[in-house]
């Protein structure tokens, strides 16, 4: 392929490889302009579905002219192959950028970069194009921190049946960045991209994809559909609270609860950025103060009317209302907490001591009784494992389970010694907190 000429462009070198084709550096033979030439792999050229997908990419790119999206110069369908002649960008994929960093990307820089990405997608969405494969490796960053979105191979042109290559019930995209509706293979729109952009922004800030620790596609799919992301603040600290709130909104499971467009996403990123002081207004205000007439030194000031003293009785009434509200709130809160700590199918009504010495060290998840857990400890566990972790806490205190499932399960554990019909009074504050956390992740 090196040295081959396509139209006025000579192929100079290989610069990238992908599942559908390779990308070469090309150069105009007369004016020296560099281009990127994407070539469909020869072994796929006879596959009609792949050929149509390649043609789809050309059709979609032809609709887009935006500084944040790689431009298409030409498309060739020849006997020896299919070719996309595109704008050449000297940049680095987000994926490679993150690998090269020795410390996290500064929050402000990440926000500025992400706003440029969102601007590009806002343009695409307004042109009725859904990318459907948003991920860090499909976004380039130049040395000037400009962005270029690429790879529209599986993009969907809404309302265009000719190039709608997938039907409802067919999954498309890269698993780590799929939206819940992509996982479930249901009808989707531009808000699917917004979810994937939220996950991409998470990775840009944290340096890792929130689903990378998952070991199977089923596990990833389950997490995407059911569970929230690992809080960014858990791993990166409180300084990331504002951007984490933005990411949470972008990655809501229900599409109607997400940002409804990229412009809303951008506004949210700018929400806590201080607006610069309007110097013109400040100067004008100063002039008005200076121009105000000064009171003569011998001028008698106008008499000031003293405000009436507030009634002490009114103050006591307000104070009494506040105290009553606090008492009622405390009672309601304590009542809610009681229901959180009950084991499966039981009524807690008894107090007692530990079932046996050393029981805290037994079971699959002894840490649930030894220390306060975080979401990182439980987010990757299956629902069955979460049930075991929670009920082991009660079993360590010798609780007698009414549920056949847990009675049989713990009956097979040689450390379990059933003695009490209720153990709520024995639970430590750490155990209560852990039970509450575990129940949030169970379904």
* pLDDT tens by residue, 190-227: 999 999 999 999 999 999 999 887 878 889 999 999 99
| CB distance 136 to 200 below 8 Å | yes
pLDDT tens string 283-292:
444 444 344 4
| Nearest Cα residue to 14 out of 22, 6, 41 | 22
| CB distance 132 to 156 below 8 Å | yes
Tell me: do 69 and 184 sit in the same domain: no
Signed CA dihedral, 376, 382, 387, 388: sign only:
negative
Q: How high is the mean pLDDT of the chain?
A: 80
Structural domain includes residue 306: no
Last residue of a domain, one of 252, 269, 286: 269
Statement: residue 335 has pLDDT above 60: no
Highest mean pLDDT among 8-17, 146-155, 284-293: 8-17
- Helices 383-396 and 404-411 cross at an angle (nearest 10°) of 70
- Go through 75-87 and write b for each residue having 16 or more CB atoms within 10 A of its CB, e for each that does not: beeeeebbbbbbb
Give the pLDDT band (50/70/90) at residue 45.
Answer: confident
Residue keyed to tokens 């979105």: 149
Q: Which residue has the higher pLDDT, 153 or 111?
A: 111
Rounded average pLDDT over 381-392: 87
* Whether 151 is catalytic: no
Tell me: do 224 and 187 sit in the same domain: yes
| CB distance 178 to 196 below 8 Å | yes
Tell me: do 106 and 240 sit in the same domain: yes
From 74, 77, 79, 133, active-site residue? 133
| Nearest Cα residue to 35 out of 44, 43, 27, 45 | 27
Tell me: do 317 and 184 sit in the same domain: no
Distances (CA, A) of 17 to 25, 37, 91, 154, 167: 12, 12, 16, 17, 28
Q: Which residue has the higher pLDDT, 187 or 247?
A: 247
Structural domain includes residue 295: no
Structural domain includes residue 287: no
Last residue of a domain, one of 61, 87, 113: 87
Structural domain includes residue 277: no
Contacts of 122 (CB under 8 A, 6+ apart): 261, 262, 263, 266
Structural domain includes residue 429: yes
Tell me: do 104 and 208 sit in the same domain: yes
Tell me: do 219 and 107 sit in the same domain: yes
Tell me: do 189 and 147 sit in the same domain: yes
Rounded average pLDDT over 312-338: 55
pLDDT tens string 399-409:
888 877 888 88
Q: Structurally, how many domains does the chain consist of?
A: 4
Tell me: do 118 and 218 sit in the same domain: yes
Tell me: do 71 and 130 sit in the same domain: no
Give the pLDDT band (50/70/90) at residue 47.
Answer: confident
Q: For the purposes of burial, counting CB atoms within 10 Å of the CB of 287, is it exposed (0-12), middle (13-18) or buried (19 or more)?
A: exposed
Last residue of a domain, one of 36, 60, 87: 87
Tell me: do 322 and 349 sit in the same domain: no
Domain interval for residue 328: 311-335
CATH number of the domain that residue 401 is part of = 1.20.58.1690
Give the pLDDT band (50/70/90) at residue 416.
Answer: confident
Contacts of 429 (CB under 8 A, 6+ apart): none
Rounded average pLDDT over 245-253: 97
Q: Which residue has the higher pLDDT, 74 or 59?
A: 74
Tell me: do 318 and 427 sit in the same domain: no
Signed CA dihedral, 92, 98, 99, 104: sign only:
positive
Structural domain includes residue 298: no
| CB distance 64 to 112 below 8 Å | no
Statement: residue 279 has pLDDT above 90: no
Tell me: do 188 and 263 sit in the same domain: yes
pLDDT, position 167: 39
Give the pLDDT band (50/70/90) at residue 341.
Answer: low
Rounded average pLDDT over 316-336: 55
pLDDT, position 33: 95
CATH number of the domain that residue 137 is part of = 1.10.510.10
């Amino acid at each position: 392929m090196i040295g081959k000429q396509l139209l006025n462009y000579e192929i100079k070198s290989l610069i990238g490889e992908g599942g559908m084709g390779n990308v070469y550096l090309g150069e105009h033979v007369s004016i020296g302009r560099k281009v990127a030439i994407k070539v469909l792999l020869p072994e796929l050229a006879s596959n009609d579905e792949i050929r149509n997908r390649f043609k789809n990419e050309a059709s979609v790119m032809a609709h887009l002219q935006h500084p944040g999206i790689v431009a298409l110069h030409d498309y060739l369908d020849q006997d020896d192959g299919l070719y996309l002649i595109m704008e050449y960008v000297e940049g680095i994929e987000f994926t490679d950028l993150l690998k090269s960093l020795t410390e996290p990307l500064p929050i402000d820089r990440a926000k500025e970069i992400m706003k440029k990405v969102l601007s590009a997608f806002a343009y695409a969405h307004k042109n009725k194009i859904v990318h459907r494969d948003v991920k860090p490796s499909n976004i380039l960053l130049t040395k000037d921190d400009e962005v270029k979105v690429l790879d529209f191979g599986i993009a969907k042109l809404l309302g265009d049946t000719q190039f709608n290559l997938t039907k409802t019930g067919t999954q498309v995209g890269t698993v780590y960045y799929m939206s819940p509706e992509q996982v479930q293979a249901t009808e989707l729109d531009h808000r699917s991209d917004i979810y994937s952009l939220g996950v991409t922004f998470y990775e840009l800030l944290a340096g890792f994809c929130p689903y990378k620790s998952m070991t199977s596609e089923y596990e990833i799919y389950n997490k995407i559909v059911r569970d929230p992301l690992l809080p960014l603040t858990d791993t990166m600290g409180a300084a990331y609270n504002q951007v984490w709130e933005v990411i949470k909104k972008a990655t809501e499971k229900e599409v109607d609860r997400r940002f409804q467009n990229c412009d809303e996403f951008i506004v949210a990123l700018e929400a806590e950025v201080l607006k610069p002081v309007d110097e013109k207004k400040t100067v004008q205000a100063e002039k008005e103060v200076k121009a105000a007439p000064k009171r003569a030194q011998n001028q008698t000031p106008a008499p000031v009317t003293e405000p009436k003293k507030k009634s002490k009785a009114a103050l006591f009434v307000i104070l009494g209302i506040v105290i009553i509200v606090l008492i009622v709130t405390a009672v309601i809160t304590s009542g809610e907490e009681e229901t959180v700590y009950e084991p499966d199918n039981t009524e807690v009504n008894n107090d007692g001591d530990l079932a046996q010495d050393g029981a805290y060290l037994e079971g699959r998840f002894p840490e649930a009784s030894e220390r306060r857990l975080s979401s990182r400890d439980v987010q990757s566990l299956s629902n069955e494992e979460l049930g075991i972790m929670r009920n082991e806490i009660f079993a360590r205190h010798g609780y007698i389970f009414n549920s056949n499932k847990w009675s049989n399960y713990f009956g097979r554990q040689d450390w379990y010694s059933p003695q009490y019909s209720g153990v709520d009074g024995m639970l430590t504050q750490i155990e209560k907190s852990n039970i509450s956390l575990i129940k949030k992740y169970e379904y």
